[in-house]
Chain A
Amino acid sequence: MKKDLLLGIGMMLLALLFALDLRTVKNPEIIQNQVGVTLFPWLMLGALALLGLLLVVFSLVKMKGPRGQAGKTTTDWGRFRSTYAVPSLMFAILTAYIFLTPVIGFYVMSLLFFVGLGLLLGGFNRRNVITTCIGSVTTVLSVYLIFQVMLQVWMPQGLLF
């Protein structure tokens, strides 16, 4: 329920953030008497804030209720870590891959990304290392031949190839 409370507050803050930007938008003069360009977004932001508020109210009601008191649990950090460790690392590797591609170059980064992720997911055992290395080279080579040579799709190039 605490999660929903935070989510509701987050949504209201998001609505506020968007509202601050929307306030700065001025309607073109030709449409002063017509329906403004901000009317629809305002309605949507209002709906977002309202739904966020509803989430907050519902979660507060549930937290105060008898089941909410009984349902209090402590966070199992060990389990939390084991659940989110791999997805977090994977996301970090993906983000590094995406943001470093324009600097290093797509093909080299793809090789590094493939090997990094393959080892993260499959471990450092001999079989996986060999599979990952062969897989990465084959994939990158295939991508190069199909996209760059055949389809003429140029991927970002950086310091290296």
Chain B
Amino acid sequence: MTLEYYFQAVGHSLTVLTDPTILLLVFIGSIGGILAGAIPGISVPMAIVLTLPFTFGMTPIQGLATMCGVYIGGMSGGLVTAILLGIPGAPSAVATVFDGYPMQRKGEGGMALGIGIWASFWGGILGCLVLMVTAPFMAPYVLKFGPWEIFSLIVFGMTIIASLGEKSIVKGLLSGVLGMIAGCIGADPIYNTPRLTFGFGAVIGGVPFVPTMIGMYAVSQLMLDTEKSEAWKREVKKIVMPDRMPFWRAMVVSVRKWRETLLASAIGVFIGALPGAGSAIANIFAYDQVKKFSKKPELFGTGIAEGVVASESANSAVAGGSLIPTVTLGLPGNMIAAIMMGALLIHGIQPGPLFMRTQSELAYGLFTILLFANLSVLVLQFYFVKVAARLLNVPGALLIPIIFVFCVIGAYSVNSVLFEMYLVSITGIMAYGMVKGGIPLAPFILGLILAPIAETNFRVALMTDGNMWLFLTKPISGVFLLLSVVSVIWAYRQLQQERAAAAGKPKE
């Protein structure tokens, strides 16, 4: 790909911004995302899943615009409660509490919010720029991947996801395999022969993606929330809203913290690009690294701008990073990217090595929309922060039934099939059981999405040459499989070390 073509494509993609519908959808999505991110208990994946059914009637670019708005808004929205109440609205804002809340208690809440919003913006923009620069130039190399390499890459992605951040590697792998089996249910991807259906006609086309996601991420999450009465009978803390948020002064402060922003954003992009790792890890890791590189690490945690900048720029940079493997390899960087990938698959668009070539308009349009979404979230946050804070007063007893009603509408409205509505309940209880049994949900969802791609490549590889050893002897494929083994061993050793450290700690 030549630079001339690249700049032409980027320039052409700017035309999406002339479409008022797309701009409006990004705005609506951003508002939804900010509100979802602000309310503890509503996660960004849950918000994206609930958005998904609304996007099916739209064109792919409009659907992506809505979801990008929710994604970027949700990443930024978590800072509202983190700063005002000391409760992270989303896992991506955990580290924002460390310095944001002390700033609020010192009477600098407005400044903390302003800095956080600007840091989110810079991080998001940097993440998008990295995506814009790397994805198109990576794509030609990825195109050289054959079915052996793609299959091994999926195996690598699945093992990383299964072994990252969980207490049991076996259960992580188990979840991935269960997802793969669920992905095999229905007609096989090459000859359309039904399998594993138990004669049940409703699943011949495969396990419906949207109701499964709604059940697994919304229903099970709400059930988990209601286990602890304080989660839904939220005792409404008195929210001390700052009188004003200094827009320009906050910008100046955030610009002065450019070193922290750059370091945290780089960490965010890198962690986002790793399959399975997301903003929940990125914000804490970036906070820790920025603290280590700081000349005054002892001030972190006392309410300083650097802490807010580190957390917020890292969690927003994750968005761009997570889409790099999605766009180039067809391997989602995190749960949200997986949901967006699923939405594209439903539209018949396959993200992956050919995506940048066959869907270049959509791919470059996505980059432009992400940039615009960051801008829209920046503006909206300054106006919606008070609305988002007021929403915290809505009792859980009112909010939970509303979400459930939308879950049911979302599941049914895609295909108007009753079975898909029932599936919400079935997958909801299944996911709840999985979480209670210590089985993570993310590998299952990724397995479900990636199973047809993995199977197709596996079979095409064997049909091309029946020699199974080629998966190991082809250099790139072999490296991916080796990395898969290394990732499992590494995760196992980490777990052992953590257990040994925990056993050595005296009981309180």
Interface residues of A (CB under 8 A from B): 3-4, 7, 11, 18, 21-22, 25, 27-28, 30-31, 34-35, 37-41, 44-45, 47-48, 51-52, 54-55, 58, 83-84, 86-87, 90-91, 94-95, 97-99, 101-102, 106, 110, 113-114, 117-119, 121-123, 128, 131-132, 135-136, 139-140, 143, 147, 151, 153-156
A156 to B417, CA, bound (A): 9
Is the Cβ of B174 less than 8 Å from the Cβ of A48?
yes
* Least CB distance, A154 to chain B, in whole angstroms: 7
B246 contacts the other chain (CB 8 A): no
Chain B 406-437 interface residues, beta-carbon cutoff 8 Å to A: 408-409, 412-413, 416, 418, 421-422, 424-425, 428-429, 432, 437
- Known interface pairs A21-B198, A97-B408, A121-B232. Does A156 touch B181 (Cβ–Cβ under 8 Å)? no
Name the B residues within 8 Å of A44 (CB-CB): 177, 180-181, 184
Name the B residues within 8 Å of A101 (CB-CB): 408, 421
Interface residues of B (CB under 8 A from A): 57, 170-171, 173-174, 177-178, 180-181, 184, 188, 190-191, 193-198, 219, 222-224, 226-227, 229, 232-233, 395-398, 400-402, 404-405, 408-409, 412-413, 416, 418, 421-422, 424-425, 428-429, 432, 437-439, 454-455, 458-459, 462-463
* Least CB distance, B291 to chain A, in whole angstroms: 36
A31 to B416, CA, bound (A): 36
Q: Closest residue to A99 on the B side, CB-wise?
A: B422
Is the Cβ of B425 less than 8 Å from the Cβ of A54?
no
- Known interface pairs A83-B227, A87-B226, A121-B396. Does A41 touch B181 (Cβ–Cβ under 8 Å)? yes
* Least CB distance, B389 to chain A, in whole angstroms: 19
Is the Cβ of B196 less than 8 Å from the Cβ of A121?
no
Q: Closest residue to B178 on the A side, CB-wise?
A: A48
* Least CB distance, A150 to chain B, in whole angstroms: 12
Is the Cβ of B177 less than 8 Å from the Cβ of A121?
no
Within 8 Å by CB of B425, from A25, A87, A94, A119, lies: A94
A–B pairs, 17, beta carbons within 8 Å? A21-B195, A35-B459, A40-B459, A44-B184, A48-B174, A51-B177, A55-B174, A94-B428, A102-B418, A110-B405, A121-B396, A121-B400, A122-B395, A123-B397, A135-B402, A143-B409, A155-B409
A35 to B432, CA, bound (A): 37
- Known interface pairs A51-B170, A55-B170, A154-B416. Does A84 touch B463 (Cβ–Cβ under 8 Å)? no
Is the Cβ of B195 less than 8 Å from the Cβ of A48?
no
Is the Cβ of B401 less than 8 Å from the Cβ of A117?
yes
Name the B residues within 8 Å of A18 (CB-CB): 181, 196
Within 8 Å by CB of A87, from B57, B171, B432, lies: B432
* Least CB distance, B304 to chain A, in whole angstroms: 39
A123 to B424, CA, bound (A): 26
* Least CB distance, B194 to chain A, in whole angstroms: 8
Is the Cβ of B412 less than 8 Å from the Cβ of A156?
yes
A131 to B395, CA, bound (A): 9
A47 to B193, CA, bound (A): 22
A131 to B394, CA, bound (A): 10
Is the Cβ of A47 less than 8 Å from the Cβ of B177?
yes
A1 to B400, CA, bound (A): 33
Name the B residues within 8 Å of A131 (CB-CB): 395, 397-398
- Known interface pairs A35-B462, A37-B190. Does A139 touch B397 (Cβ–Cβ under 8 Å)? no
Name the A residues within 8 Å of B412 (CB-CB): 155-156
* Least CB distance, A120 to chain B, in whole angstroms: 8
Closest 9 CB pairs of A and B: A122-B397, A121-B397, A37-B188, A87-B223, A40-B455, A114-B401, A37-B193, A117-B401, A41-B184
A131 to B222, CA, bound (A): 20
Name the A residues within 8 Å of B191 (CB-CB): 28, 30-31, 37
A153 to B53, CA, bound (A): 11
Name the A residues within 8 Å of B178 (CB-CB): 48
Q: Closest residue to B224 on the A side, CB-wise?
A: A87
Is the Cβ of B219 less than 8 Å from the Cβ of A48?
no
**Main SS of the interface on chain A?**
helix
Name the B residues within 8 Å of A123 (CB-CB): 397
Is the Cβ of B421 less than 8 Å from the Cβ of A86?
no
Is the Cβ of A22 less than 8 Å from the Cβ of B432?
no
Q: Closest residue to B418 on the A side, CB-wise?
A: A102
Q: Closest residue to B174 on the A side, CB-wise?
A: A51
- Known interface pairs A58-B170, A101-B421, A143-B409. Does A118 touch B401 (Cβ–Cβ under 8 Å)? yes
Name the B residues within 8 Å of A58 (CB-CB): 170
A140 to B408, CA, bound (A): 13
A51 to B177, CA, bound (A): 9
Q: Closest residue to A96 on the B side, CB-wise?
A: B425
Name the A residues within 8 Å of B422 (CB-CB): 98-99
Q: Closest residue to B397 on the A side, CB-wise?
A: A122
- Known interface pairs A28-B191, A51-B173, A101-B408. Does A40 touch B184 (Cβ–Cβ under 8 Å)? yes
- Known interface pairs A37-B191, A121-B232, A131-B397. Does A52 touch B174 (Cβ–Cβ under 8 Å)? yes
Q: Closest residue to B219 on the A side, CB-wise?
A: A94
Name the B residues within 8 Å of A139 (CB-CB): 401-402, 405
Name the B residues within 8 Å of A86 (CB-CB): 226-227, 229
A139 to B178, CA, bound (A): 37
- Known interface pairs A31-B191, A34-B463, A121-B232. Does A87 touch B227 (Cβ–Cβ under 8 Å)? yes
A47 to B179, CA, bound (A): 12
* Least CB distance, B390 to chain A, in whole angstroms: 15
* Least CB distance, B271 to chain A, in whole angstroms: 27
Name the A residues within 8 Å of B173 (CB-CB): 47, 51
A154 to B415, CA, bound (A): 11
Within 8 Å by CB of A90, from B198, B226, B408, lies: B226
A48 to B173, CA, bound (A): 9
A131 to B27, CA, bound (A): 30
A21 to B398, CA, bound (A): 44
A122 to B421, CA, bound (A): 26
* Least CB distance, A125 to chain B, in whole angstroms: 10
- Known interface pairs A113-B401, A155-B412. Does A38 touch B425 (Cβ–Cβ under 8 Å)? no
A154 to B396, CA, bound (A): 28
A102 to B127, CA, bound (A): 46
Q: Closest residue to B452 on the A side, CB-wise?
A: A40
